[in-house]
């Protein structure tokens, strides 16, 4: 496949991921949204096909790929769980392989979720983001 076609596909998948980020940011604890700067986080692909994360709070452009100099994400203002989510989004953008829906607010043993979103907010996020091609679609059985 020609390089420009691969880049176009990555850009389309980046738009899907940015839709999911906005859905997450509009519910619950509003991860990926900074009220102080009135800014949403986003992801982008450069002309080489490398994936970047734009942090909502710091506004910094963060290289998401592993590097030989340690790969510290300077300017990333979220924790490790959300960093892992961004890495999964990066991999989806690169490969097109959909993610498991369990990435959306992983469940705990006591029927809560690791993000601390309320039940209604988490349900909304899962319903809205779950239909976007970033996530594997549930196969419904015929009645």
pLDDT in tens, 94-109: 999 999 998 998 887 7
Structural domain including 61 reads 3-130
Q: How far apart are CA 102 and CA 141, in angstroms?
A: 20
User: How crowded is the C-beta side of 74, counted as CA atoms within 13 Å?
Assistant: 2
Q: Is residue 60 part of a domain?
A: yes
| pLDDT at residue number 111 | 74
Query: Which of the two residues, 32 and 5, has the higher pLDDT score?
Result: 32
Q: How far apart are CA 120 and CA 94, in angstroms?
A: 32
Q: Is residue 37 part of a domain?
A: yes
| pLDDT at residue number 2 | 55
Q: What's the maximum distance between 2 C-alpha atoms anywhere in the chain?
A: 55
**CA dist list (Å): 116 to 10, 26, 35, 44:** 31, 14, 18, 27
Question: CA-based Rg of the chain, rounded to a whole angstrom?
Answer: 16
Query: How confident is the model over 38-68, as pLDDT tens digits?
Result: 999 999 999 999 999 999 999 999 999 988 7
Q: Considering the entire predicted model, what is its pTM?
A: 0.90
Q: Is residue 13 part of a domain?
A: yes
Q: Is residue 52 part of a domain?
A: yes
Q: Is residue 74 part of a domain?
A: yes
Query: Which of the two residues, 91 and 112, has the higher pLDDT score?
Result: 91
Q: How many domains does one find in the chain?
A: 1
Query: Looking at the predicted structure, is the pLDDT value of residue 139 above 70?
Result: no
The distance of Cα 26 from the centroid of its chain, to the nearest Å, equals 13
């Amino acid at each position: 496949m020609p390089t420009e076609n691969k880049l176009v596909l990555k850009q389309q998948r980046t738009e899907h991921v940015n839709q999911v980020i906005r859905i997450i940011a509009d519910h619950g604890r509003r991860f990926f949204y900074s009220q102080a700067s009135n800014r949403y986080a986003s992801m982008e692909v450069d002309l080489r096909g490398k994936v970047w994360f734009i942090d909502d709070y710091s506004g910094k452009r963060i290289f998401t790929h592993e590097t030989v100099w340690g790969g510290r994400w300077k300017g990333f203002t979220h924790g490790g769980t959300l960093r892992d989510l961004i890495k999964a989004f990066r991999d989806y953008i690169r490969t097109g392989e959909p993610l498991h829906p369990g990435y959306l607010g992983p469940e705990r043993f006591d029927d809560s979720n690791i993000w601390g979103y309320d039940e209604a907010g988490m349900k909304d996020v899962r319903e809205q983001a779950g239909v976007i091609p970033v996530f594997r679609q549930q196969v419904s059985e015929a009645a």
